[in-house]
């Protein structure tokens, strides 16, 4: 069977899944809007969570957070389920599909055969929508691919039960009820407030703008502390987290700028346009960081491309972002 589901190519999986699922139920919001209302913008340097022995740096909020918040703020009802038993998880998925419900699943990208081999890493935070089944092939709307794809049952099963850090444990979720009228403005305001609060006021040194500065201090010490080779590996991981498939570049900062632009129209608030512009230039700064970082990785670093220089760019990003979130707070208070 095949549910009539509109696949829209997106920059990031979770906000794409959110916006596509909502669109299916008649709520037409863009990916950037879903990202913004869901308070997706974030920063966290998590040295105790590791992938391939390298610390995780994240530019977006926790897995599932965007979807959870955007649906809650719009008053949409959602059903979540986790599983122990893989076969039961697949049966539950089939059951939903038979009832005509498109279902979002959390998966490990490594096991999805339609991923280009160059991107097959153990990465357990990939979201996609299953919208049909033909024989043993599932029809999948994976928002980071241009076209819908298919995936065999055994591969999807493996992907849904990927192991390691942040294992998805067969998680699936779908919408169960949509309100008749959607009021975007209050949701937008709440989304902005929440994001600002998290970026500015999270306790501890590793989250939010404080986290960016913390990372800057760490980066300076990497070459001495870890040795050249390991410092480069840490840097590689960082750049990949920032720019990997599905960030829209600049570690989600451009996507958030796009959201602010849309929000300006919804709230009729021109100050948000300015802030969108500022966010765009911060994104450009983040990209500069990646450029210098990659030169270091390739041993093509010039004098001015030292780890200190990179740390200074990060500090600049932190300062710019602090200013943006403070002003945003003032706009939506």
Partner 1 sequence: MKIEEVPQERGMMPDNIYEVCYALDDDGHYVLTASAGWNPKNIANNQAWEVIEQETAKALNGIHAGKLSPLAFHMAKNQMNTRLLAQYAGFSRWRVKRHLKPSVFKRLNQAVLERYSDVFGITVKQLQQFPEKIEQTI
Closest contact distance (angstroms) between CB of 190 and partner 1 is 22
Q: Whose Cβ is closer to partner 1: residue 3's or residue 159's?
A: 159
Closest contact distance (angstroms) between CB of 284 and partner 1 is 6
Assess 23 for contact with partner 1 (CB under 8 A): no
User: Using CB under 8 A, which of the segments 62-70, 177-185, 195-203, 240-248 binds partner 1?
Assistant: 240-248
- How far are the Cα atoms of 190, 233, 243 from residue 94, in angstroms, in the given order? 36, 42, 34
Residues 6+ apart with CB under 8 A from 163: 108
Exposure pattern of 234-264 as b/e (b: 16+ CB <10 Å)? bbebbbbbbbebbbbbbbbbbbbbbbbbbbb
* 104 burial level (CB within 10 Å; 0-12, 13-18, 19+): buried
Diameter of the chain by CA atoms?
Answer: 62
Assess 258 for contact with partner 1 (CB under 8 A): yes
The site string for partner 1 over 188-217 (x = CB under 8 A, - otherwise) reads: ------------------------------
User: Using CB under 8 A, which of the segments 82-90, 126-134, 190-198, 228-236 binds partner 1?
Assistant: 228-236
How is the chain split among helix, strand and coil, in percent rounded to 5? 55, 15, 30
Assess 304 for contact with partner 1 (CB under 8 A): no
The site string for partner 1 over 117-136 (x = CB under 8 A, - otherwise) reads: xxx-xx--------------
Q: Whose Cβ is closer to partner 1: residue 57's or residue 76's?
A: 57
* 20 burial level (CB within 10 Å; 0-12, 13-18, 19+): buried
Q: Exactly one of 17, 27, 29, 32 binds partner 1 (CB under 8 A); which one?
A: 32
* 177 burial level (CB within 10 Å; 0-12, 13-18, 19+): exposed
Q: Exactly one of 49, 79, 164, 205 binds partner 1 (CB under 8 A); which one?
A: 164
Q: Copy the structure tokens of residue 324.
A: 């943006």
Assess 146 for contact with partner 1 (CB under 8 A): yes
Q: Exactly one of 94, 137, 269, 284 binds partner 1 (CB under 8 A); which one?
A: 284
Cα separation, 305 vs 285, in Å, equals 14
Q: Copy the structure tokens of residue 56.
A: 């995780």
Assess 249 for contact with partner 1 (CB under 8 A): yes
Which stretches of the chain bind partner 1, using CB under 8 A? 9-11, 31-32, 52, 110, 116-119, 121-122, 144-146, 158, 163-164, 232-233, 236-237, 239-240, 243-246, 248-250, 254-255, 257-258, 261-262, 276-277, 280, 283-284, 287, 290-291, 293-294, 297-298
């Amino acid at each position: 069977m095949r549910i009539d589901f509109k696949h829209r190519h997106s920059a990031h999986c979770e906000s794409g899944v959110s916006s596509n699922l909502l669109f299916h139920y008649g709520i037409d919001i863009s990916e950037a809007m879903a990202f913004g209302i869901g308070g997706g913008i974030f920063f966290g340097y998590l040295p105790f969570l590791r992938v391939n022995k390298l610390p995780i740096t994240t530019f977006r909020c926790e897995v599932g957070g965007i979807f959870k918040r955007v649906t809650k703020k719009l008053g949409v009802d959602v059903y979540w389920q986790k599983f122990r038993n893989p076969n039961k998880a697949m049966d539950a998925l089939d059951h939903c599909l038979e009832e005509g419900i498109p279902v979002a699943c959390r998966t490990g990208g490594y096991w999805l055969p339609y991923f280009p081999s160059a991107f097959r890493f153990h990465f357990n935070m990939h979201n996609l929508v299953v919208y049909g089944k033909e024989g043993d092939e599932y029809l999948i709307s994976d928002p980071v691919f241009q076209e819908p794809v298919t995936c065999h049952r055994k591969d999807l099963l493996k992907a849904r039960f990927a192991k390691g850090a942040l294992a998805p444990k067969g998680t699936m979720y779908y919408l169960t009820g949509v309100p008749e009228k959607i009021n975007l403005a209050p949701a937008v305001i709440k989304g902005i407030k929440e994001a600002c609060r998290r970026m500015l006021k999270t306790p501890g040194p590793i989250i939010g703008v404080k986290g960016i500065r913390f990372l800057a201090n760490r980066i300076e010490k990497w070459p001495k502390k870890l040795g050249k080779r390991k410092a480069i590996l840490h840097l590689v991981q960082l750049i990949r987290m920032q720019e990997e498939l599905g960030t829209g570049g600049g570690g989600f900062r451009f996507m958030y700028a796009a959201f602010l632009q849309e929000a300006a129209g919804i709230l009729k608030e021109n100050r948000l346009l300015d802030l969108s512009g500022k966010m765009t230039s911060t994104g450009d700064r983040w990209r500069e960081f990646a450029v210098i970082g990659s030169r270091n990785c390739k041993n093509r670093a010039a004098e001015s491309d030292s780890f200190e220089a990179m740390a200074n760019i990060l500090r600049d990003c932190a300062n710019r972002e602090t200013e943006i979130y403070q002003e945003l707070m003032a706009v939506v208070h």
